[in-house]
Amino acid sequence: MDIEATVIGGGIVGCAVAAELAGQGLSTALLEMESGLAHGTTSRNSEVCHGGMYYPTGSLKARFCVEGRHLLKGFCESAGVGYRECGKLIVAVEEAEIPHLERLLALGQANGVEDLRLVDQAEVKKLEPQISAVGGLLSPRTGILDAEGAAKAYARLAASRGAQVMTGARVTELEKIKGGWQVTITPLGENRAEGWTHTSRVVVNAAGLWADGIAAMAGIDVEARQWKLHLTKGNYFAVADAHAGRVSRLIYPVPPASGTSLGVHVCLDLGGQMKLGPDLQKYDHDLREVATGAAGIALDYSVDPDRGDSFFADAKRFLPWLEREDLVPAMSGLRPKLSTTGLVDFVVQRETDSQLEGLVNLMGIESPGLTSGPALAREVGRLVAEMDS
**pLDDT tens-digit readout, 14-42:** 999 999 999 999 999 999 999 999 999 99
Rounded mean pLDDT of 183-211? 89
User: CB within 8 A of 240, min separation 6: which ones?
Assistant: 325, 326, 327, 328
What is the per-residue pLDDT for 254?
94
3-state secondary structure of 43: helix
Residues 148-163: tens digit of each pLDDT: 999 999 999 999 999 9
**First CA to last CA distance, the chain:** 19
pLDDT digit string, tens, across residues 93-147: 999 999 999 999 999 999 999 999 999 999 999 999 999 999 999 999 999 999 9
Share of the chain above pLDDT 90, in %: 87
Radius of gyration of the chain (CA): 21
Instruction: Write the pLDDT tens digit of every residue in 318-367.
Output: 999 999 999 999 999 999 999 988 889 999 999 999 999 999 999 999 99
- Indicate the domain borders of the chain: 3-46+148-227+343-387
Going by the DSSP 8-state scheme, the letter that residue 67 receives in this structure is H
Average pLDDT over the chain, rounded to an integer: 94
CA distance 296 to 115: 45
Residues 6+ apart with CB under 8 A from 23: 157, 161, 381
Regarding predicted confidence, which is higher, 17 or 186?
17
Residue 371 reports pLDDT greater than 90: yes
pLDDT in tens, 54-75: 999 999 999 999 999 999 999 9
Phi, psi of 342, deg, nearest 5: 175, 180
**CATH architecture of structural domain 3-46+148-227+343-387:** 3-Layer(bba) Sandwich (3.50)
Q: What is the pTM of this model?
A: 0.96
Q: What is the mean pLDDT of residues 236-252?
A: 97
pLDDT score recorded for residue 194: 80
pLDDT band at 45 (very low <50, low <70, confident <90, very high): very high
165 bridge partner residues: 30
Q: How confident is the model at residue 263 (pLDDT cuts 50, 70, 90)?
A: confident
On the question of pLDDT at 289 being above 80, the answer is no
pLDDT bracket for residue 381 (50, 70, 90): very high
Instruction: Give the bridge partners for 48, in sequence order.
Output: 144
